[in-house]
Amino acid sequence: MRRFWLLFSQTITVLLAAYFVVATLKPDWLGRRPGGVIGNVTLFEAPGTPAGQPVAGSFSAAAKKASPAVVSINTSKTPDRAMAQDPWFRFFFGERGNEPQVGLGSGVIVSPDGYVLTNNHVVEGADEIEVILNDARRTRAKVIGTDPDTDLAILKIELDKLPVISLGNSDQMEVGDQVLAIGNPFGVGQTVTSGIVSALGRNQLGINTFENFIQTDAAINPGNSGGALVDVNGNLMGINTAIYSRSGGSMGIGFAIPVSTARLVLEGIVKDGQVTRGWIGVEPNELSPELAETFGVKARKGVIITGVLQNGPAAQAGIRPGDVITQVGDNDVGNVSELLSNVAALKPGVATPFELQRGNDKLKLDVTPGQRPRPRMQRAPR
């Protein structure tokens, strides 16, 4: 018995010694890889995932699919020489007025023909626009068209073998879906951040005329404007546009224009040179108790019309100041933003039924919309 225990202890000692030698000299035999040396301590890493296989919970596949089509945009604007030479301007601002104004943003290649989607405020007023691809290629871009009402712009670049992003279906998104924001924040280089869809259909933010934003907590910072918001499959779901921030950086409240809106703008500008929208010529306001009392309206929902353009489409159809529009076609109207969006979606020249309330009476009128005039003034970049 004593001999048995002696043999057993010697065997264990030999095995432990062998394990120590292998672990020190050939750690890969044990499924561990050297992770570096700090002083006299050797570090080891856990076994990795085989090459080409994504790690569970990783968004690397989506990032690899979408990132090549996301570009950086550098803009420059020549200063106003007359202003720069003004003595008072030079007194307050010095010689800085002679330097070109530069801007930074992002964009998304959506066509092998070289069309790039970005924000209007990224390229607005720029004299020169440079697009930098993720593979380090650089080229000048020209503006094909802009749509200030949605803050979108279409650029065109001339390069071969362009990476193109796949367009998703933003109408199928739901709150809680995971998303990635890809862009060039602060000019540090292309960056991918992750988050979820926090809300859908955000409007009345005072950012654009037509608002239907996707809200996300994926980090969006200055320089991300015009970049891509993609789903976990790498499909484009939105164009990152704005953030709510008290510090200038991300606070977890970002807004993106849905790709469904961007697609309509893209098609309109590429085919017709502009986006065609319906227009009826009214001044709408939110229905408040004060306005309802002023116009003697008993309606509890809808949008009250406080002004009607003489001889405009609404006036010709019989709409008057004080009327409350409750429905456009088959779509209910609850606020000004919804009215603008529903009217803009109408085809000019095609009559559409409007439901409204006038005093205690409910009416149904057919309105033939005209074409919405283009904005006379462009908004300042945000």
- 16: containing domain: 9-45
20 and 69 together in one domain: no
Residue 201 included in any domain: yes
What CATH number is attached to the domain comprising 175? 2.40.10.10
42-69: per-residue pLDDT in tens? 444 445 545 555 556 788 899 999 999 9
Q: How confident is the model at residue 110 (pLDDT cuts 50, 70, 90)?
A: very high
196 and 152 together in one domain: no
Amino acid type, 159 = L
**Residue 30 clears pLDDT 70, i.e. is over it:** no
Number of domain units in the chain: 4
For 45-113, give the DSSP string: EPPPPPTT-PPTT--HHHHHHHGGGEEEEEEEE---HHHHT-HHHHHHHGGGGGSPEEEEEEEEE--TT
136-165: per-residue pLDDT in tens? 899 999 999 998 888 999 999 999 999 999
Q: How many residues does the chain have?
A: 382
String of b and e for 168-197 (b: at least 16 CB within 10 Å)? bebeebeeeeebbbbbbbeeeebbbbbbeb
Pick from 15-19, 49-53, 191-195, 258-262: least confident: 49-53
What CATH number is attached to the domain comprising 296? 2.30.42.10
250 and 336 together in one domain: no
Residue 57 included in any domain: no
Helices (H), the chain: 2-25, 60-66, 81-84, 87-93, 120-123, 259-272, 289-295, 313-317, 336-344
283 and 266 together in one domain: no
Residues contacting residue 288 through CB under 8 Å, at least 6 positions apart: 304
Residue at which a domain ends, from 127, 156, 185? 156
Which amino acids are annotated catalytic?
121, 151, 225
Q: How far is CA 3 from CA 8, 12, 14, 17, in A?
A: 9, 14, 17, 21
Pick from 80-94, 117-131, 187-201: least confident: 80-94
Average pLDDT, the chain: 81
212-244: per-residue pLDDT in tens? 889 998 888 888 889 999 999 999 999 998 877
Helices (H) and strands (E) counted in the chain, each on its own, are 9, 23
The token pair that represents 313 in the structure block: 């489409």
> Residues 90-117: what's their mean pLDDT?
77
Pick from 113-117, 153-157, 212-216, 251-255: least confident: 251-255
Could you say which DSSP state residue 120 is in? Answer: H
145 and 175 together in one domain: no
203 and 231 together in one domain: yes
Q: How confident is the model at residue 277 (pLDDT cuts 50, 70, 90)?
A: confident
> Residues 190-208: what's their mean pLDDT?
84
Residue 19 included in any domain: yes
Residue at which a domain ends, from 99, 131, 156? 156
With residue 243 as reference, give the H or E element that holds it: strand 236-243
